[in-house]
Amino acid sequence: MSSKCVMNCKGFNQLFAFPEDDKELKRWCDVLELDKLETHDRLCDLHFDAKYIGIRGLRNDAFPESPKTKKRKRPNAIESLGIIDVSPDNDATGFETIYIATNQQTPKKIPTIKCYERKTHSQRRVTEELKVEEKKTHEKAKVIRESAKANELLATYKPGFEPVKSTFQSPPKRTYSHAGGKAKTPKLDITMTCYCRCHNREGDEKYYELLKTIENLKKTEEEQNRQINMLTSQNKLSEHLLKTKTKRLTELAETEVVLRKELETLQRIVNVISKREITAAPTASENSITFARMACARRKKYTRSEILLAQKIYSVSNRCYNFMRGVLLLNLPHTSTILRQRKLKDIVNNQGDVIEEVQHDYEIKQEEDYEHDLIAMDEDDSGSCIINAFV
């Protein structure tokens, strides 16, 4: 005999035993939403209410018959149908246990007939009468049972002791797989479908308000911790940047002092040089003065005389011109501008000068050859040499 409730409740005062009939046990399994019940299982008074004839939190017509805690002197119509009242018994545990039991009366024996024997008319009539009587007795018992329940409810009604009503909807059954096989069998959690005061707290608004406040406090605490972590990381980063910036500022201040000193010295040198007057020598030619002005100037437009001077320098030695313009960085015009600015007359004049120089060289060469021939003629005494020379 177990001293625990099937629903694993605590703080109960009474335990009720289940009937031994299999059909009644199945009905109790359906009501309590359990897979299986044994005869040695017990139900506590938190779930079973003997006064109100039913399980707490369910309708009174959705559960099996309740026990009777008082004995009656005369047998009732309900007792005649098979319900027996059992007086309470005390277990070794100290809890008061009331047994729910059903005593089904032995039905009237119907004469058994063998298969080879024929039923007589009287035997058939007896069986039909027995069936009709059974139906009538069942109907009468049902009416009496309902009237008895109503009378007991009216007699024992007291305001404030109504069964717990709840709008809690039981969630679907969970499935758990076995270790040995692939098949899954439903396993029900008791707290999911229990409607007692110890498990169901839906009606307790304060309890849910406290839960909500606890959740809100947890959320606020998490947000505050996140903000604190973010601020600490930002503070560390700002401190690191401040250190690096202060170092850079000190370095820049030191370099600023050095550069200011150098600038002061350069300003002094410029002031001294600006007082001096740079003048050309009295023996300098115009070409040298124009070349100096062109090389030291900071302009890109040149006069006609400057371009002609640059052309003359380029014609003498283009390599020297490129050296002065590219390496020494003198302000000389580009070679494309020099060639573009040349006129056709200048080109013709230059070609004439070249022809004159070549002709002059040719004449000098002829004179040298003639003198050489005369020397040869003086050396030879024969007249053939003279004739050959004049030929």
Q: Provide the number of structural domains found in the chain.
A: 3
Both ends of the chain: CA-CA distance in Å? 167
Inside any domain, residue 50: yes
Residue 302 shares a structural domain with residue 237: no
pLDDT digits 0-9 by tens, 235-250: 888 888 888 999 999 9
- Phi, psi at 17, each rounded to 5°: -90, 150
The confidence score (pLDDT) of residue 61 equals 46
**pTM assigned to the model:** 0.22
Out of 70, 102, 127, a domain closes at 70
As a whole-number percent, the residues of the chain with pLDDT over 70 amount to: 51
Distance CA 134, CA 128 (A): 10
Of the CA atoms within 13 Å of residue 331, those in its CB half-sphere come to 14
Inside any domain, residue 355: no
Out of 14, 45, 70, a domain closes at 70
Torsion (CA) 44, 49, 51, 52 in degrees, nearest 10: -170
The confidence score (pLDDT) of residue 204 equals 60
Q: Apex CA 331: angle with CA 326 and CA 300, to 5°?
A: 120
Inside any domain, residue 116: no
Residue 12 shares a structural domain with residue 63: yes
Residue identified by tokens 């494309």 is 336
Distance CA 30, CA 23 (A): 11
Listing DSSP states for 108-138 in one string gives: PPPPP--TTSPPPHHHHHHHHHHHHHHHHHH
* Residue whose C-alpha is closest to residue 37's, from 45, 26, 53, 23: 26
Inside any domain, residue 320: yes
Out of 23, 47, 70, a domain closes at 70
Residues 18/124, Cβ–Cβ less than 8 Å: no
Which DSSP symbol is given to 5?
Answer: B
Inside any domain, residue 382: no
Residues 291/311, Cβ–Cβ less than 8 Å: no
Q: Which domain holds residue 58?
A: 1-70
Pairing of strands 174-177, 42-44: unpaired
Q: What is the pLDDT along the chain (391 residues), one digit of tens a residue?
A: 567 788 887 777 777 787 788 888 888 888 777 888 887 888 887 777 666 454 554 444 444 544 444 344 444 444 444 433 433 444 433 333 444 433 344 333 434 444 434 555 556 666 777 788 888 887 888 877 777 776 665 555 444 444 444 444 444 444 555 555 555 555 445 544 555 555 555 556 777 788 888 989 999 999 999 999 999 988 888 888 888 999 999 999 999 999 999 999 998 888 887 776 667 677 778 888 888 888 888 777 888 888 888 888 888 888 888 898 888 888 888 888 877 655 544 555 555 555 665 566 666 667 777 676 666 665 554 444 443 443 3
Inside any domain, residue 206: yes
Q: Where are the beta strands (DSSP E) in 232-287?
A: none
Residue 1 shares a structural domain with residue 66: yes
Inside any domain, residue 183: no
Listing DSSP states for 289-343 in one string gives: HHHHHHHH---S---HHHHHHHHHHHHH-HHHHHHHHHTS------HHHHHHH--
